[in-house]
Amino acid sequence: MEKLPYKFDDPARQICFNQFDLPQPWINYLSNGKMHAFVSQAGGGMTWWLSPMVFRISRYRFYNLPIDSPGFYVYIRMEDGTVWSPTFRPCDTKVDAREAAHGPGYSTFTAKKDDLVASLKLFMAPDHNALLWDLRLENESGEAVSCDVFAYVELSQFLSQQENILGYYLKWNTRAVFDEELQAITYAYTAWMHPRAEESPLVYFGSSARVDSFCCDRDQFCGNYRDERNPVEVEKGKLSNTNLQGGEPCGALHSHQILEAGEKKHLHFYLGVTEGALADYSKAVRDTQVTLGTLRMPGAVDAQFAKSCQWWHDHLNVLQCRIPDEDAMRNINTWNPLQSVQTARYSRSISSSASGVRGIGFRDSAQDMLAQAYRKPEWAYEMLEYLASQQFEDGHPVHIMWPEENRPAQDITRSDNHLWIVYLAYAIIAESGDLSILDRQIPFLAPDMMNHTGGASLWEHLLRGIDFTEKHMGEHGLPLILFSDWNDHLGPFGRRGKGESIMVSQQLIYALRQMTELAQLRGEQELVVKFTARIKQQEEALAQYAWDGDWYLRGLDDDGKPVGSHTAQHMRIWLNSQSWMVICGAGKKEQHIHAMDSAKAQLDTGIGLLLNTPGFPGWPSQEAEMANGLPAGYSENGGIFLQANCWAIIAEALLGRGDQAWQYYKQVMPQNVIQKLGVERYKSEAYAYCSTMLGIANEKCGWGCVSQVTGTAAWMDVAATQYILGIRPTLKGLLIDPSIPANWEQYAVERYYRGCKLSIQVENPDHVQHGVKAVTVNGKSVDLENGAYITEDILSGCHEARVCVRMGERR
């Protein structure tokens, strides 16, 4: 097996790199919730405030060669003129040793050249909107060393799309100067046509060290026909003290340093923003002075780092497990929940392969927040409330929104969007027990897609969503697919307005079951009756039309012909309608097993399940049109779509087939795919899921595409913790329902639940895959009559509880 370019340090929750020229940037996100950055293993990356589209602070060239630049660069120039960096980019100079690591909320980069060690740690200050650069220099020799240190960042014109198309005009709206009083560079983008001009920030780049020279002009700094690899001003050893009124801005700060024998020094750089530069410039400068004053206080940077680490510690600590599989344990305890935070923040918008202009997707964020609902229900609720405010009065919502960008949302009516918020509302209430959120008043979206009208309770919003589906039923009594359902590319089967979606029917049933439980708790008996009837109607329609003999169809097209049938030449079988049949609980278990077995036989590639097969051949075949021109094997055209794999895992777990669920879980773990295929083929991060891997019909099968920003993050998190480990919040309490590999002897989960710390120990002496025989909480037996629920009553008054679970067949 090829040597891996990284290894994991589990106690430190780090991934440590030993190779830096990876096939694509492997990034880490740094954020305090408002100010954000990503940085790669090579030091490439960018930073933005609130929105990567409107307030992009530093630049990143998405289509650049070499890839992954610019970034957050520190140049160290030795007396003999050699220039090197703690990060792999930008200098080509060979160093004697190099390391880099990503951890939750920070990245570190260390290089050693001769006897000088330079180590850079980047993280976002929790209390200030500033990216902190903590640079440590250590002279390991017995003699003094003198060197020049330069910190450099290329600044952006905030509006990323405008900058791309009109940057050559708009560069006259830039002003970057060295402010003597602040001892920092300040930068303002002075265009009043900015959609949020009043808030438009003052960017600052300051240092804890004496500034010996500076440069605010990128082209001056780099020199004619050069780039960041060998900037002429660094080569000269001194910057030109150039300010900039129009042009391409940058922040470059220089400090000459002498390190005595054995001496260690700390230098800090602060790249931050202060709101309101255009509205009140001198106030913004004064506020910046206060911030810089605070950050320059002794110990301030370390204290900010400790606070950032604490945030992550608390977040991850909500659920931690001990299982007999190190790779998966690391994934469940650290990397998967970490990625779920990123998707909760960034939806599908920004990564090294997503340029930050996509806004947030309604259904995407509703799903992303499922992984927060059990860790931070308040955070998930904030998003839920926002999403509900994006529903029109008829119950259907817009599809994509730009909450930070001051622009109207986009409405192309999908058949599924509104259903996803039912699951989110349920998940939040299941965790918190707080039904009252359903009574909160939330406005509807006005037809202009900017303003709001009226308002109704969250409960009413959910009801209108359900009603929207009821009012959009097709001839066979199944929901119309409308523009498309969860599968963006499936719409063409229903372009004439008659196609129906089996997946949406399954989703509707699942939503109705949750709504029924909620209605029961609210004492709304008529709704319970109504929902029960609707479920029955859908179940009957599915029983009549969905079964194809060996699996379930995916839909019926405009002519009522089956989609996803053995009779078709392409797209004979689709994964989602198999797994969602199990999830929604319609139909019979034997048929579920039959369908899931067919899915395995037809779709399992050994590195993941295909979304459908066989895909349409790529262009120039006639059929390529049906797949929207996608090449065979990519994404929804016969690709390994990872989010759909999560639902298959959940379905297998629900069927009690723990071994199968585990095989599906393990085989798509990036770490596993890399071990099988190698980094050069998979390309993507070993610690974050990508959206899709190319399927068998593509020469590059196994290539992980669109990493980081994918619904896989949240769903895999939910699949692992709630369905495999089986610690599942429900309205009745915390359900203990493991579906594990039979060879697991035992496992343990620490979980905070409604203010109580649960230490759950699960024993599996009979080596079953599913089934709970006995549960005790602090020594007292739990009645298993209706399932192993740990209710609030059982926990009442406890801050800590020992939960012992014994798996096995129940007689």
Which distant-in-sequence residues (6+ apart) come within 8 Å of 443 by Cβ? 389, 452, 453, 454, 455
Q: Candidates 12-20, 328-336, 373-381, 486-494: pick the segment binding ligand GLC (CB under 6 A).
A: 486-494
Strands (E), 483-538: 500-501
Work out whether 636 is an interface residue with ligand GLC (CB under 6 A): yes
Residue 644 three-state SS: helix
Would you say 251 or 491 has its CB closer to ligand GLC? Answer: 491
Would you say 304 or 691 has its CB closer to ligand GLC? Answer: 691
Would you say 334 or 635 has its CB closer to ligand GLC? Answer: 635
- Binding-residue pattern over the window 695 to 734 for ligand GLC, x denoting contact by CB under 6 A: ----------------x-----------------------
- Least Cβ distance, residue 626 to ligand GLC (angstroms): 15
φ/ψ (deg, to 5) at 116: -105, 130
Output the CA torsion sign for 231, 236, 241, 245: negative
User: What are the CA-CA distances from residue 793 to residues 402, 507, 519 (Å)?
Assistant: 43, 32, 21
Question: In DSSP terms, which residues pair with 117 in a beta bridge?
Answer: 112, 138
d(CA 628, CA 625): 5
- Least Cβ distance, residue 364 to ligand GLC (angstroms): 5
Work out whether 411 is an interface residue with ligand GLC (CB under 6 A): no
Q: Which one of residues 115, 219, 325, 488 is an interface residue with ligand GLC (CB under 6 A)?
A: 488
**Cβ atoms < 10 Å from Cβ of 313:** 11
Confirm if 644 and 599 have CB atoms less than 8 A apart.
no
d(CA 276, CA 196): 10
- Least Cβ distance, residue 534 to ligand GLC (angstroms): 24
- Least Cβ distance, residue 416 to ligand GLC (angstroms): 8
User: Binding residues for ligand GLC, how many (CB under 6 A)?
Assistant: 10
Amino acid type, 224:
N
Residue matched to tokens 């290894």:
7
- Least Cβ distance, residue 361 to ligand GLC (angstroms): 5
- Least Cβ distance, residue 368 to ligand GLC (angstroms): 10
Would you say 156 or 372 has its CB closer to ligand GLC? Answer: 372
Q: Tell me 535's DSSP state.
A: H
Q: Candidates 311-319, 418-426, 480-488, 738-746: pick the segment binding ligand GLC (CB under 6 A).
A: 480-488
- Least Cβ distance, residue 487 to ligand GLC (angstroms): 5
Burial class from Cβ neighbours inside 10 Å (0-12, 13-18, 19+) for residue 447 reads exposed
Would you say 138 or 364 has its CB closer to ligand GLC? Answer: 364
d(CA 697, CA 423): 34
- Least Cβ distance, residue 583 to ligand GLC (angstroms): 16
- Least Cβ distance, residue 493 to ligand GLC (angstroms): 14
Confirm if 370 and 716 have CB atoms less than 8 A apart.
no
Would you say 275 or 364 has its CB closer to ligand GLC? Answer: 364
Residue number with the smallest Cβ distance to ligand GLC: 488
Work out whether 639 is an interface residue with ligand GLC (CB under 6 A): no
Would you say 398 or 437 has its CB closer to ligand GLC? Answer: 398
Q: Tell me 106's DSSP state.
A: E
Would you say 488 or 524 has its CB closer to ligand GLC? Answer: 488
d(CA 703, CA 518): 43
Would you say 607 or 706 has its CB closer to ligand GLC? Answer: 706
Closest to 151 (Cα-Cα) out of 285, 28, 31, 268: 268
Would you say 586 or 644 has its CB closer to ligand GLC? Answer: 644
Confirm if 481 and 437 have CB atoms less than 8 A apart.
no
- Least Cβ distance, residue 102 to ligand GLC (angstroms): 24
d(CA 31, CA 29): 6
- Least Cβ distance, residue 713 to ligand GLC (angstroms): 11
> What tokens does 556 get?
């019926």
Is the bond preceding 70 in cis, omega lying within 30 degrees of 0? yes
Work out whether 486 is an interface residue with ligand GLC (CB under 6 A): yes
- Least Cβ distance, residue 709 to ligand GLC (angstroms): 8
Would you say 709 or 756 has its CB closer to ligand GLC? Answer: 709
Residue matched to tokens 């780039």:
227
Confirm if 188 and 197 have CB atoms less than 8 A apart.
no
Would you say 390 or 769 has its CB closer to ligand GLC? Answer: 390
Would you say 364 or 604 has its CB closer to ligand GLC? Answer: 364
- Least Cβ distance, residue 507 to ligand GLC (angstroms): 12
Work out whether 691 is an interface residue with ligand GLC (CB under 6 A): yes
> What tokens does 196 get?
């949020």
- Contacting ligand GLC within 356-375 (CB under 6 A): 361, 363-364
Q: Regarding beta strands 800-807 and 756-763, do their DSSP bridges make them parallel or antiparallel, or are they unpaired?
A: parallel
- Contacting ligand GLC within 543-602 (CB under 6 A): none
- Contacting ligand GLC within 331-360 (CB under 6 A): 348
Q: Which one of residues 183, 340, 487, 577 is an interface residue with ligand GLC (CB under 6 A)?
A: 487
Angle between helices 458-471 and 377-388 (to 10 degrees): 50
Output the CA torsion sign for 491, 497, 499, 504: positive
Q: Which parts of this chain interact with ligand GLC (CB under 6 A)? A: 348, 361, 363-364, 486-488, 636, 691, 711
